[in-house]
Amino acid sequence: MHIEICDVTLRDGEQTPGVSFTCTEKMEIASLLDEVGVEVIEAGFPIISDDEKCCVRSVARLGLKARTCALARARQEDVDAAIDADVDIVSIFVPTSDLHLRLKFKKPLDEVIDSACLVIEYARDHGLVVRFAAEDASRTDVKSLISVYNKGAEHGAGYAGYADTVGYNTPLEIADIVRTIQPQIPIPMAIHCHNDMGCATANTLTAAACGAFQLHTTVNGIGERVGNARLEEVLTGLLMKGGVDRYDLTVIPRLSRYVEESTNICMPVIKPIVGGNAFAHESGIHIAAILQDPDTYEYVRPELFGLTRKFILGKHTGTKALTHIVSTLGIQLSDGQIHEVLNEIKKKSEGKCRITPKVLCTIIKSVQEEQTNGNTVRTNS
């Protein structure tokens, strides 16, 4: 599969309500993204402030393998800020839907594009690769988009950016759009999906399967409103379904935790890949099978991410699972003791008690003491 990743955590991710990265945090996240093997890092929107431009420049000068990108409106001063920030790529965006044009520009599409093309030429002439991005592309007539992208390419754009700005598309729609547009333009498509209907990751993977080249992601799926396509899920999908194995997924847990700490946005335990339950099992039937062959109940293996699976004790636990867990603690129990401990685990779990290692050890100790006392009584009698 011919793709590259452009991670936009430092730009769109920072547009998450309440989120702001320090320059140090941006540099650390960029370095971790580079360790993963991400090809392009969108470092920010340098025109918004001198501090933002300084941060983008700091990322650009880290000496990473990844190329750096900055966002810009179709204005020369925005491009000048990107040039000052020392990035490799500038993403010049313009609204293309009738709704956005009417409310934001009050001009026809052709006039907006003609003006933008002059800025594309300016950026190209100053040594920048240009991604010409259509904002609200998903609510724009496809024939109009094809015309927009071809005009951009004629003036030097190197990418055609398709932004599903409000999370409007479904995977079937994205498939049809990419298959329609990509063959009719001379430059690769870049796909930027938002998650308003929960389709961002699926849309991104579908776009890749249908011929899109640059895939936009954010760590932990942060971003405007409910976020963007999730880096960890997109990379996993590319590996498992597309055979793309050049990314170092063992960096993902560390990167995810760092972004959690920097944003104070904690991942749900049921979040794929980086959630606390991603590789956790409680069902006795499942655990018994996994102990023989993990493929029985794991399609995505924790080892891919440098993680280990967890067996959780609860009301669904079976004797094989408990025997295995007890043995990992270096404790030997008889079959009778295993059954007694298991009964206590089920009782406590049904009472909403979480069976932590400490709770388990308390139960084991209680069962052992009860048996010892019982044996003593019988001996004395």
- How does pLDDT run across 178-235, given as a tens digit for each residue? 999 999 999 999 999 999 999 999 999 999 999 999 999 999 999 999 999 999 999 9
The per-residue pLDDT for 375 is: 60
Check whether 379 has a pLDDT greater than 50. Answer: no
Domains of the chain: 4-263 (3.20.20.70), 280-380 (no CATH)
Mean pLDDT computed over 104-111: 89
Mean pLDDT computed over 366-374: 78
Distance (Å, whole) CA 181 – CA 246: 28
| Mean of all residue pLDDT scores within the chain | 94
The per-residue pLDDT for 14 is: 97
**In contact, 41 and 67? CB cutoff 8 Å:** yes
pTM: 0.92
CB-based burial label for 73 (10 Å; 0-12, 13-18, 19+): middle
Check whether 28 has a pLDDT greater than 70. Answer: yes
Q: At which residue do the structure tokens 């069962």 appear?
A: 367
Q: Rank 120-129, 311-320, 340-349, 356-365 by mean pLDDT and report only the highest.
A: 120-129
The per-residue pLDDT for 354 is: 87
Mean pLDDT computed over 252-256: 98
- How does pLDDT run across 322-364, given as a tens digit for each residue? 998 889 888 888 889 899 989 999 998 898 888 888 888 899 9
The per-residue pLDDT for 313 is: 87
Mean pLDDT computed over 239-251: 98
The per-residue pLDDT for 198 is: 98
